[in-house]
Amino acid sequence: MRLKNFPLSFGSQLFKAFSDESRVRILFLLHHYPELCISDLEHILDFTQTKTSRHLTYLKNSGLVGSRKRDQWVFYHIKEEVKDFVNLIFQYLQKDTMLRKDLSTAKVLESNRELAIHRFQGNQLLV
């Protein structure tokens, strides 16, 4: 269910979450990818694991980000109910050079990951 309106206390939490550049960068990547894990975000943003975890925890507590655990991995995503709000904010930030650079880095890492997967699958076929 999407949010149509929200109380002031929830709104202030949302705006506080967007008040930090690192959190905005994380949200921008989650806005473009269905879900990412901490190691993905660390590599793309060149953050430490501690910094990434701290900001993701803040985003989860603010109600913007949800997570799912699979084995030892935790994957983060923007919650469905706040997607309209996040989309609206990023309409204004879509041409920011830092955010575009982060997205470009993510695309390179994604293509490298696909190459590695194909290479691994190719080696499996040779065995």
Q: Where are the domains of the chain?
A: 8-126
Residue 7 pLDDT class (50, 70, 90 cuts)? confident
Task: Label each residue of 31-81 as H, E or C.
Answer: HHCCCEEHHHHHHHHCCCHHHHHHHHHHHHHHCCEEEEEECCEEEEEECHH
Tell me what pLDDT residue 126 has: 42
Given a cut of 90, whether residue 111 has pLDDT beyond it is no
Mean pLDDT for the stretch of residues 78-86: 92
CATH code, residues 8-126: 1.10.10.10
Which pTM value belongs to this model? Answer: 0.84
Taking only the tens place, the pLDDT of each residue in 29-46 is: 999 999 999 999 999 999
Residue 89 has pLDDT above 70, yes or no: yes
